[in-house]
Structure 1
Amino acid sequence: MGYFEYAWSLFFVKDKFKTKLLIDPELDQPILSHDEIGFVIVLPEPALHQEEQTISFLGYQFPEGPKGKLQAVELFKACVFHLSAHVAISDSEVYSEWEKQKDIRIAKFSESLVEDDRVNEYISARHPDKLREIAFANSLAFTRSRSLRRIWNPATRVMTALLMQLNVGLTKGDVRTEEWRTINGVTGSLGQLKTTSSELLASRHLNSDNARVEVADEIYNALECYGPILEVPALPHTEKLSHCSLFPRYRVQPDDGAGEIFSKSLATLGEASAANMQHRLEEKAVEAEAFQVYNSWVNEKAREKKTLDRYEELVLATRFKSIAFPGEDYTEYLRARAETKSETRRLISSLMVGFDALDEDPRKLFG
């Protein structure tokens, strides 16, 4: 089982017809978009660097040991849980009219804050056992991020502080007094929306469209006054909004993603039993699952390399620079099969008639 199959096994809503899931080893951050039918999710894939004995994923470098393997798989799970929750409850069409005539970068960030906050609330209410991976990813991002003192653009500084305050409950450095007012105001508005969302989740209803747009508009107006936007930040394990240099490449240490920052993020997400969650992160069952996924992926890559090596000499005689296995797109296959269902049935029927004629028992022709 590679990461593609593993991602599907983790999804909250397993509708392979409406949701297109792709894996792209070249990406350094997940992508969330839409097509005419549903969501399109493109996930990065970890890469193994044997010479350096490291595993790289989302701009992190993990040591190629038991702890590093566990951390890489837990971070992958956090990606899947976050994006899967978007599939379950998010709808970008809610903001389509509102974002017209607005700075699209500020608008997208405002929408992202609202939807990501709802995603965290959804996971906390429906899948609280998944919060440990989210908190782990949040604490890694906090450790990796630049200090607010080193972010010179006011708008980007406030955006980054908001991200950390809402996901970790901490900020990495101080901001100006007026910027704190903005952060507290946005946090308060999102807190009120969270209360509304909690009530709707408890009653099995997810529709709070008007309230979401109103809060997004408040965030937009609060950020617009800080001048031009140079970068739109997003946590590395969440969907990419634009180019962002606020999370430089980082070599993960064994103790990263744990301790006080992990506990604070869990509390911010709504989980009080941080000590129990930290213990569960180190359970043997969790470790065994991570090692199984990692080893299956390594074996899969080894088989692919062995197959491609057989064709290496043949490729040299062609104009192809290289060959590779195409990316899996099972959703497109399901959609194509549905669109050609009647034609396929008629073709199969015709083939069966022809096959019966060829396979006719000759004794029947002579009685």
Structure 2
Amino acid sequence: MSTFVVSLVEDAIIKNQLEHSFNWAIPETVYADAVSFLRMKNVEKLPKDTSRIMVSLLTYYNLRKIKGTLEEEMFTDVQAISSILQKLSESPTAEKRIEAATKIYDALTVYRENFEIPSLLYTESHGTNDLFYEPYIPKEEQIQQLIRETLPLINPEIKNKEQVESFLQNYNGNEAHRALTTWREKENSKLKILKHYVEIGKDTKFEDFDFPTEDFSEFQRRRELLSSPIRRILNRLRLLKNVGGEDFRQESGFVDLQEAIQVIASKSQRTDIFVREELQTREDAWSILIDASHSLNMFKGEVRGIALCLAEVAKTLILDQNSWGMYAFN
């Protein structure tokens, strides 16, 4: 509970500073609030009162709107806490922060502790947020409509329809909007791919198909740590035995121990017990399969490292990026 309260207080202060010092960020914030609201579950679907009031606080303070119907007593608490946050954001001294956090914490403790902490999609998260969000992507029309409804409530300077449309028009052409549009297209593409796998895997024992959670910073750290083994593997695989021909045995080169042992054992006079390393010219197709079962959790770090090495090697070595893939199962 304390983590949620601290996050709530700090986010309110940051939001106020953005609105006063970085006006260009307001459209992006409003848009992100709308996306978070549309993806968030209806409060009636949440299992506990604690979850309901936490989610309602996030949406009411940022959009003056609650998704679903809240009990009257709980709604009164939401309004009171939002008022505390509003007053604090205008004069956020250290003493007032502590005072506001204490009041909010005392108001929320009557609803007991909650094991999961909700957060808006673009703010700092303290967990997976799976409990609070629906797994779908809102349509652009839904987002625009919600912005039209809530913008006059959260921004007193916007008083009529013309100002709302002007706001949306200015937003639609900026870089952040284009980035979000690209992200939405990518997510739709992923959903299409998953539907295909669900269809072809309906007769298997797999319960579900999904893409793994992405963590770009962790990926960069691991790739830096494993750069040396990745480079060594690449150098070795670039000089593979080229076994594409009818006979890969040669009379000079590196000794093939297996061939040499067979020749000695048979007392043959053969001398073609050598192989030559040549630049690889064959076309390869790789499928990297990972066992991610819970019983192997103690080896999780090592498995990720090996998978990353193989993926980086495949990406560099195989020219056709459609000729390799990585899959995990548990």
Q: How many residues align?
A: 198
Structure 2 counterparts to residues 327-342 of structure 1, below 5 A: none
1:259 corresponding residue in structure 2: 145
1:146 corresponding residue in structure 2: 41
Equivalent of 1:277 in 167, 170, 173: 167
TM-score (norm 2): 0.52
Equivalent of 1:178 in 73, 85, 94: 73
Matched, 1:250 2:145: no
1:154 alignment partner AA: D
1:248 alignment partner AA: E
Q: Measured at CA, do residues 260 and 243 of structure 1 come closer, stay the same or move farther in structure 2, by a change above 3 Å?
A: closer
Matched, 1:133 2:28: yes
1:264 CA drift (Å)? 1.1
CA RMSD of aligned residues (A): 3.7
Q: Distance in 1 between matches of 2:235 and 2:66?
A: 52
Higher relative contact order (Cα pairs below 8 Å, separated by 6+ residues): 1
What secondary structure does 2:116 align onto? coil
1:142 CA drift (Å)? 0.8
TM-score (norm 1): 0.47
1:275 alignment partner AA: E
1:262 CA drift (Å)? 5.0
1:271 CA drift (Å)? 5.6
Q: Distance in 2 between matches of 1:313 and 1:255?
A: 53
Q: Distance in 2 between matches of 1:247 and 1:267?
A: 24
Equivalent of 2:116 in 231, 237, 241: 231
Q: Distance in 2 between matches of 1:163 and 1:122?
A: 18
Structure 2 counterparts to residues 264-343 of structure 1, below 5 A: 264-265=150-151, 267-268=153-154, 272=158, 273-283=163-173, 286=174, 290=178, 311=234, 314=237, 320-321=306-307, 322-324=310-312
1:287 CA drift (Å)? 5.8
Is the 8 Å Cα contact of residues 123 and 131 (structure 1) preserved in structure 2? yes
1:211 CA drift (Å)? 0.3
Matched, 1:108 2:3: yes
Gaps of 5+ in 1: 1-105, 198-207, 299-307, 326-367
Is the 8 Å Cα contact of residues 12 and 86 (structure 2) preserved in structure 1? no
Is the 8 Å Cα contact of residues 137 and 257 (structure 1) preserved in structure 2? no
Gaps of 5+ in 2: 187-229, 241-304, 314-330
What secondary structure does 1:229 align onto? coil
Is the 8 Å Cα contact of residues 233 and 246 (structure 1) preserved in structure 2? yes
1:225 CA drift (Å)? 0.8
1:60 corresponding residue in structure 2: none
Is the 8 Å Cα contact of residues 34 and 147 (structure 2) preserved in structure 1? yes
Identity percentage of aligned residues? 21
What secondary structure does 2:91 align onto? helix
1:122 corresponding residue in structure 2: 17
